[in-house]
Structure 1
Amino acid sequence: MVEYNSANGHAAGVTMKKRNRREGEVGGLAGEDAENFDEKAYSVERAFDGKPVPPWQQQLTFRAFVVSFFLGIMFSVIVMKLNLTTGVIPSLNVSAGLLGFFFVKIWSKALEKTGLLRQPFTRQENTVIQTCVVASSGIAFSGGFGSYLFGMSEKIANQSAEKNAAENIKDPQVGWMIGFLFVVSFLGLFSLVPLRKIMIIDYKLIYPSGTATAHLINSFHTPQGAKLAKRQVSLLGKFFSFSFLWGFFQWFYTAGDDCGFINFPTLGLQAYKNRFYFDFSATYVGVGMICPYLVNISVLLGGILSWGLMWPLIEKREGDWYPVGTSPSSLHGIQGYRIFIAIALILGDGLYNFIRVIGKSGSAFVEQVQRKRNSTLPMSEEGNSGDSAPVVSFDEQRRTELFLRDQIPLWLACGGYVLIAIVSIITLPHIFPPLKWYYVLVAYIFAPVLAFCNAYGCGLTDWSLASTYGKLAIFVIGAWAGAGAGGVIASLAACGVMMSIVSTASDLMQDFKTGYLTLASPRSMFISQVIGTAMGCVISPCVFWLFYKAFSLGNPGSEYPAPYALIYRNIAVLAVEGFGSLPKNCLTLCYVFFAGGIFVNLLRDVSGKKVARFIPIPMAMAIPFYLGPYFAIDMCVGSLILFVWERTNKAKADAFAPAVASGLICGDGIWTLPQSILALAKVKPPICMKFLSRAANVKVDNLLSS
């Protein structure tokens, strides 16, 4: 799963940081004013010097958590929809900060008119909302509803190549899913709390997504940024409404299978058969505007390579490489090549980045430690140091002072980790009997180290490798458990344990960075993260259950195929059973693409930056191998819109593109809620809009006239 969000690699976060840094630092200036502005002389905190910083208790307001709850539902629906379709999840930190500002401003204005407004809206409260929302919606990703958790179900098992599926099935139920999430999701929050000062202040890790969000929130609350914020919020509201109404309009034409605009053969019927078409999805157009150009182009190239070249050529080998008449959904036919070659490419990319981030984090950590040891220089005879001491800016001094003021006790962090670990070790074997208590114990012993590596690497590169650590757990526990006695379930559950810890740990550190830059207290950050996680443990299973009951999840070719659920299950099957069930030459192709994923990443690293930006990302290329390139076309349309906008007016594009993209994503995502309710109530659309070839149309006309 490609994690371009606060939860999964945050490649989109890098772009968002670049887009929003200027508007945050210069208080929302644009055009020539921004270009002529002396950014070095500008101090963000001096602009807020006259405004007192509220104590941490006052940053945790009732309205903040009410708004966070409803935004958490909205973003959980969006993340769930993306999880169950393509797995491409953009950075939602900026959108959460923007929408939090939007809704609390409406709340504040309404109370102000009635004279009941008691507490002004501050950037610290805005940060609390953003933290709570991201923590809540992050559970929709780390909870594995589109990957390991749904991969345990009978529906996915029936599509897999395993032999003893009966003992390796656990169908979704709201009760056990909520219990599982409460047991595993909080551990990551306690694992790295003692290291927050080291990572934020001592080592000054960037955390690009967190930094971008902080600059945006700061710009909203400065007098200079108020005008820009108002225009951004207005534009977000317009595109939110357009996206919602567009989803509603499309619904009327989807009365049957393959009906509606989502099946419009925009590039011709032959291209449509190979899944090359534009499906008019506002969500993926918005995702394309947020994700970097290289990600979108990589996805499109992957679709062209697989559905344009490889699969048509392999299909011609039917009868030689695999039996004639094999079902298109069988893993012993063409589907096996699609799934396992995608897995090989994902694992090659993941392994390379895992080793790369670990190595980079380790060398940077050693360098930082050595720099700390050598920071005290000998004094000269005149009593001055041999070198000038680093100048600490007013902003840095102010932020460091407040970040260190509200300490989180060490005993709370360590005690919380041990207590939750004990509860988890006792509880998880009851939820998943094949997952023995000693598997969980070993996972929790190594988890803090892996959580640190992930959080440190995320701070350097903005890439979270939570899913890679999860796959590592699948292979380790799967090989340990073996094929018998539910080894597949044990390995998938272990994946969930590891993913939850490393994902929430890096999210928390990202939010600490946002809080550091907005003067939000670490205590308020931690508490809002805990409350947001608790919300997510209830909201995400309920949202998934709504999708599960309202739509046909997991069926190939359906609206929500959940591709990563099958991928994760087959990874678990390989871990416990080996490669014997693969079709002819599939394993050879897997080796080639596994090595190719490593080689392309290596080529990206050894090339200069000017060349590397034209080399595709293997992980992004692997996504359409199973799904097809239709969503890649949507994303490239979003990139094209942004590209043209930047060429015509770069200042406006930098300022307003995130708001437009957020509106498109959120409006279409929210439409899913009433659509699900209509489906549960068995209210069906009145019209089926379907497209036929000329020859097929003549046959239909003759049939109807006879």
Structure 2
Amino acid sequence: MSPTVVAAAADSTSPLLPADDSPPPPPTRDSPPPIIHGSSFTLRGVLVGLAVGTIICFSNMYFGLQTGWVSTMSMPASLMGFGIFRLLRSHLGDLPFSPVENVLVQTVAGSMAIMPLGCGFVGVLPAMNYLLKPEEQGPIQLGLPALVVWSLGLCYFGVVFAVPLRRQVLIRERLRFPTGFSTAVLISVLHGKGKETGGDGGKDPDGFASLAARPDEPDVVVDEDDEGITEPETKHAESWRQNVRLLLLCFFVSGLFTFATYFVPVLRNLPVFGSAAATTWLWTLNPSLAYVGQGIIMGPATTLHMLLGAVVGWGVLSPLAKSKGWAPGPVGDWENGSKGWIVWTSLAIMLADAIVSLGYLAFRSARQYAPQLRSFLGLQRSHHHHGPSGSLLHRQQHAGYTAINGDADGDLNPLQDELEEEKLADDAPPDQQIPSRLVSIGLILSILFCIACIHFVFGDLVPLYATVTAVLMALVLSIMGVRALGETDLNPVSGISKLAQLFFALIVPQSNKSSVLINLVAGAVSEAGALQAGDMMQDLKTGHLLGAAPKAQFWGQVIGATVGAVASAFIYQLYTSVYQVPGDLFQVPTGYVWIFTARLVTGKGLPPMAKEWALGAAVLFAATTALRTRTVGTRWHSLIPGGIAVAVGMYNVPSFTLARTLGGLFGWWWRNVKGWRDTPLIVLASGFILGEGFLSIVNLIMQSAGVPHLE
């Protein structure tokens, strides 16, 4: 299960995004290329990226096991990398820290950051390790070597597969990739190439949260025509020192609170609605500053949709199921209580959202790539010479028509050819490109390596045909994920994994005792491919705007993924060996979502009346999702509940959702009431998140040493 990845309303007044869904304007001949200073690939950049990525990786594992939420933290990684090099500038000699080197730092750090989710440590593996029943070939107990092999098997093919998509989505189509663009803006400001606005605060465009969870754009304005961020009129108006101080202050305050919760665990569950509501119905508040920070990043629309899910699930459906006898056990019991009963409604909402939204994306992707496919298959008609007939105006009008509808004879208009050549000329120099031979060999080897690793870990429990099909399906679904990410900053990896689970329920016989396990593995492979391809493309967008070498970013991503996969296996083993999983701290709700989805689609049965309520919810949210796809960019978009956000509010206990809602409302107040700049807000949120994530290591050490709680 992925983190919350929901799009809310777009704001056409954002200084960073176009006002509509049209692609950015084509570059002009007078636009200067990006100014490149320094090397795109350095050993020191890799090492700093790995150090920053390790901190974020620990944080993501901690929060992922609690709620399923992870973030690449691209902007904080850039800021921390810049701060580290500024502190060490007296030791750098004649080679200063350059923008393209900062791109490398955040690329390496981001590739490490997504490994807890990309390798299934926050959802799939807990489901296999703790929730599979004996009749389902479980539980599967994997030692550290098997965990390392599993994670390495999943960490490469998505990265390699993203490379062939780069020229299409970044150069030809010029998709936005808002997080990648925002990170490039921040780096340009840090290195003295940006100019901040007059403090009107901007507005929150979209309020995304992703598995990839997007920080809101910094409040800066730059000259950007999508071929590079050029020198502005004034330089370096924003002080990086203020942002670093704010990050460290929030880190310290959040870490101090986290340290206090070890000795006083009740701080994590405050009975804000009375003791009866807390003990019986689980309505408590976890005042974690990290969850407040997550709510700031998600935005008010997403967090309010999550609150709606919590109110419906825990305030209406849970008491109803309890009173009707559909869930006779304690409310907090996943098997017989209403906590487990409402998950089925949550799953139905997620499946409906996935089918509708990804079906829409599949249609758009097929239409977009149809001309290239026809050309590849040799189905395009040869170009006909029409002679000099027709005026220049007529030819220009015809060019405008064919740019939208295609030439009636299947030809490419000469003006389109010229524009296409201009776009391709805007790409990086050939010596900085990733060689096609490397991509071809790398893709084949990474696929074979993934298949071999899965077979090594699970043996005959997962048949070869299932693994091969899962990898090939992951590649197809990755295209939809990359396109969605480029257009909306939403990588729908949760929906992609659920579609893969649904598909494998159709091709794997239900009589197979390993059908649930196979279903989990297939979903994990699809989620890994889409997540890593999307993360790679966001980083390539940042590098494209700042003039970094794609080849350097590719190797940085590979290095970060390798170290992150191994580190995630160690961190997962560390946490699960010290803490009870599932338990009070690590409830692994996404593990239950994974296992319940596998049982649902493989026909393992539902509790009383769950089917009827699930079907009703699926129909309702299929309609709302269809409406959301038709209202993107309008003021009504954020008012339509997002299926994934509502579902997350249902399967997470209210204590997490209430804290995130407070964060979302605080972010709205910061921007719209006070009118303050966005960049410090994102720094503040990141400090809160990283502070708790890092200090959780101290709590882990105290827990393993048997330090007593003050209860």
Class of the TM-score when normalised by the shorter of the 2 chains: 0.7 to 0.9
Find the counterpart in structure 1 of residue 274 from structure 2.
Answer: 268
**CA, structure 1 residues 208+10, in 2 after alignment: closer, same or farther (shift >3 Å)?**
farther
Which deviations, in whole Å up to 9, do the C-alpha atoms of 1:260-307 show, x marking residues without a partner?
x11222332233233333321011111111112111001111111111
Give 1:436's match in structure 2, choosing from 456, 463, 467. Answer: 463
Moved more, 403-412 or 305-314: 403-412
Find the counterpart in structure 2 of residue 337 from structure 1.
Answer: 341
Find the counterpart in structure 2 of residue 82 from structure 1.
Answer: 63
Counterpart-to-counterpart distance in 1, 2:12 and 2:655: 25
3-state secondary structure, aligned to 1:623: helix
**CA, structure 1 residues 141+129, in 2 after alignment: closer, same or farther (shift >3 Å)?**
same
Find the counterpart in structure 2 of residue 126 from structure 1.
Answer: 102
**CA, structure 1 residues 399+462, in 2 after alignment: closer, same or farther (shift >3 Å)?**
farther
Query: Kindly, what percent of the aligned residue pairs are identical?
Result: 24
Of Structure 1 and Structure 2, the greater helix share is in: 1
Q: State whether residues 350 and 495 of structure 2, in contact with CA within 8 Å, keep that contact through their aligned partners in structure 1.
A: no
**CA, structure 1 residues 276+241, in 2 after alignment: closer, same or farther (shift >3 Å)?**
same
Counterpart-to-counterpart distance in 1, 2:95 and 2:387: 51
1:170 pairs with 2:180: no
**CA, structure 1 residues 472+380, in 2 after alignment: closer, same or farther (shift >3 Å)?**
same
Deviating runs (4+, > 6 A) in structure 1?
12-17, 19-22, 40-48, 367-374, 376-385, 387-390, 396-399
**CA, structure 1 residues 271+118, in 2 after alignment: closer, same or farther (shift >3 Å)?**
farther
Give 1:466's match in structure 2, choosing from 486, 493, 496. Answer: 493
1:502 pairs with 2:530: yes
Which deviations, in whole Å up to 9, do the C-alpha atoms of 1:574-633 show, x marking residues without a partner?
333x153x2221111111112122122123334572222212212111123233222221
Letter in 1 for 2:465: Y
Deviation at 1:474, TM superposition (A): 2.4
**CA, structure 1 residues 397+220, in 2 after alignment: closer, same or farther (shift >3 Å)?**
farther
- Number of residues of Structure 1 aligned to a counterpart in Structure 2: 635
Q: State whether residues 12 and 90 of structure 1, in contact with CA within 8 Å, keep that contact through their aligned partners in structure 2.
A: no
1:97 pairs with 2:78: yes
**CA, structure 1 residues 201+228, in 2 after alignment: closer, same or farther (shift >3 Å)?**
same
Find the counterpart in structure 2 of residue 209 from structure 1.
Answer: 179
Taking the TM superposition and a 5 Å limit, the aligned residue runs for 1:5-16 are 9=5, 11=7
Q: State whether residues 352 and 622 of structure 2, in contact with CA within 8 Å, keep that contact through their aligned partners in structure 1.
A: yes
Give 1:352's match in structure 2, choosing from 356, 360, 364. Answer: 356
Counterpart-to-counterpart distance in 2, 1:65 and 1:42: 35
1:316 pairs with 2:286: no
Moved more, 475-484 or 123-132: 475-484
Q: What is the TM-score normalised by the length of structure 2? A: 0.81
Counterpart-to-counterpart distance in 2, 1:397 and 1:348: 38
Give 1:249's match in structure 2, choosing from 260, 279, 286. Answer: 260
Give 2:556's match in structure 1, choosing from 528, 547, 553. Answer: 528
Deviation at 1:382, TM superposition (A): 9.2
3-state secondary structure, aligned to 2:350: helix
1:595 pairs with 2:571: no
Letter in 1 for 2:275: L
**CA, structure 1 residues 484+605, in 2 after alignment: closer, same or farther (shift >3 Å)?**
closer
Counterpart-to-counterpart distance in 2, 1:522 and 1:358: 27
3-state secondary structure, aligned to 2:428: helix
Find the counterpart in structure 2 of residue 199 from structure 1.
Answer: 169
Find the counterpart in structure 1 of residue 677 from structure 2.
Answer: 653
Counterpart-to-counterpart distance in 1, 2:651 and 2:59: 21
**CA, structure 1 residues 642+423, in 2 after alignment: closer, same or farther (shift >3 Å)?**
closer
1:229 pairs with 2:252: no
Counterpart-to-counterpart distance in 2, 1:377 and 1:230: 63
Moved more, 588-597 or 425-434: 425-434
Taking the TM superposition and a 5 Å limit, the aligned residue runs for 1:184-583 are 184-222=154-192, 224-225=235-236, 227-254=238-265, 259=266, 261-273=267-279, 274-318=281-325, 321=326, 328-329=332-333, 331-366=335-370, 386=396, 400-402=426-428, 404-433=430-459, 434-479=461-506, 480-555=508-583, 558-576=584-602, 578-580=603-605, 582-583=606-607
Which deviations, in whole Å up to 9, do the C-alpha atoms of 1:152-180 show, x marking residues without a partner?
01x323xxxx6714x23212422111101
Letter in 1 for 2:529: I
Which deviations, in whole Å up to 9, do the C-alpha atoms of 1:646-704 show, x marking residues without a partner?
23442x3323111111111111111111111111121223x22xxxxxxxxxxxxxxxx
Cα RMSD, aligned residues only: 3.5
Which deviations, in whole Å up to 9, do the C-alpha atoms of 1:170-210 show, x marking residues without a partner?
12422111101112211112223223112210111111111
Moved more, 12-21 or 226-235: 12-21
Find the counterpart in structure 1 of residue 641 from structure 2.
Answer: 616
Unpaired segments ≥5 residues, structure 1: 23-39, 689-706
Counterpart-to-counterpart distance in 2, 1:191 and 1:177: 23
Q: State whether residues 288 and 637 of structure 1, in contact with CA within 8 Å, keep that contact through their aligned partners in structure 2.
A: yes
Moved more, 624-633 or 669-678: 624-633
1:53 pairs with 2:27: no
Deviation at 1:42, TM superposition (A): 14
Deviation at 1:87, TM superposition (A): 2.1
Counterpart-to-counterpart distance in 2, 1:329 and 1:291: 29
Find the counterpart in structure 2 of residue 137 from structure 1.
Answer: 113
Counterpart-to-counterpart distance in 2, 1:546 and 1:15: 43
Which deviations, in whole Å up to 9, do the C-alpha atoms of 1:521-549 show, x marking residues without a partner?
00011010000100111111111112112
Q: State whether residues 454 and 466 of structure 1, in contact with CA within 8 Å, keep that contact through their aligned partners in structure 2.
A: yes
Counterpart-to-counterpart distance in 2, 1:647 and 1:409: 47
**CA, structure 1 residues 660+623, in 2 after alignment: closer, same or farther (shift >3 Å)?**
same
Unpaired segments ≥5 residues, structure 2: 19-25, 194-234, 400-414
Counterpart-to-counterpart distance in 2, 1:414 and 1:277: 53
Letter in 2 for 1:173: G
Q: State whether residues 7 and 490 of structure 2, in contact with CA within 8 Å, keep that contact through their aligned partners in structure 1.
A: yes
3-state secondary structure, aligned to 1:497: helix
Q: State whether residues 49 and 108 of structure 2, in contact with CA within 8 Å, keep that contact through their aligned partners in structure 1.
A: yes
Deviation at 1:88, TM superposition (A): 3.4
Give 2:663's match in structure 1, choosing from 609, 613, 638. Answer: 638
Counterpart-to-counterpart distance in 2, 1:12 and 1:657: 19
Moved more, 400-409 or 516-525: 400-409
**CA, structure 1 residues 366+313, in 2 after alignment: closer, same or farther (shift >3 Å)?**
same
Which deviations, in whole Å up to 9, do the C-alpha atoms of 1:329-365 show, x marking residues without a partner?
2524434412212111111111111112212333344
**CA, structure 1 residues 151+237, in 2 after alignment: closer, same or farther (shift >3 Å)?**
same
Letter in 1 for 2:344: F
Find the counterpart in structure 2 of residue 34 from structure 1.
Answer: none
Letter in 2 for 1:351: I
Counterpart-to-counterpart distance in 1, 2:312 and 2:495: 24
Find the counterpart in structure 2 of residue 702 from structure 1.
Answer: none
3-state secondary structure, aligned to 2:426: helix
3-state secondary structure, aligned to 1:457: helix
